[in-house]
Amino acid sequence: MPILYRIKCVDYTLFMAVPSVPATAATLLEQAMFAFVDAYNQAWEAAASEHGLSTAHACVLGRVETRRSMGELAEELRCDASNITQIVARLEARELVHREPNPEDRRSRQIVRTPSGDELYGEFEQSFEFPRAAAASLTDAEREQLTALLQKAMGA
């Protein structure tokens, strides 16, 4: 199973301000969390745009590494199906994906990446170095710690 990166509108670069408060352990952590999320979002967006992809296009292109229907895409990406129609149409116009009929349900379409879509997406992935670089800058023990702490922080 692929890891699925969420990008809901990472086109923006706007910010939210949180009031200044004394630098307790909790608020220092909140600052660090924001800085991390921000860096991650920015890296993701930059990698997409380097390859002429909008964040939306990069998301869809990533999803269709394995064959998917429009409806699956819409559900996974939490957006309206007609939005997917539009995005897939643009990707198809660039010959990055292909819309195939589904023999088992003729209402449905199977979306797959074309070879050139594979290639472009591969390059895009290469240039999205942030998570790899982040992991690489830690020791093995630290990686395990960070993984556990992130999960605990999310309430997992």
Partner DNA sequence: AGGATATGCGTGATCCAATCAAGTAATTCG
Partner DNA sequence: CGAATTACTTGATTGGATCACGCATATCCT
Give the one entry of DNA, its own copies, none that residue 81 binds, where binding means its C-beta sits below a cut-off of 5 to 8 angstroms depending on kind: DNA
Tokens of 15: 């910010």
d(CA 151, CA 145): 10
What is the x/- site pattern for its own copies, positions 63-92, by CB under 8 A? x-x----------xxxx-------------
Least distance to DNA from the beta carbon of 117, Å?
A: 15
Q: For DNA, which is the closer residue by CB, 27 or 54?
A: 54
82 interface partner picked from its own copies, DNA, none, CB below 5 to 8 A per type: DNA
How far is CA 112 from each of CA 40, 99, 102, rounded to the nearest angstrom?
27, 7, 12
CA distance 59 to 57: 5
Exposure string of 80-105, with b = 16+ CB inside 10 Å and e = fewer, is eeeebeebbeebeebebbbeeeeeee
- Residue of the chain from 32, 52, 95, 101 that contacts its own copies (CB under 8 A): 32
93, interface contact from DNA, its own copies, none, CB < 5-8 Å by kind = none
In the bound state with its own copies, the residue whose beta carbon lies nearer, of 23 and 103, is 23
Q: Binds 1, which of DNA, its own copies, none (CB < 5 to 8 A, cut-off by type)? A: its own copies
CB of 94 to DNA, least distance (A): 10
Q: Look at residues 101, 14, 9 and name the one whose alpha carbon lies nearest to residue 54.
A: 9
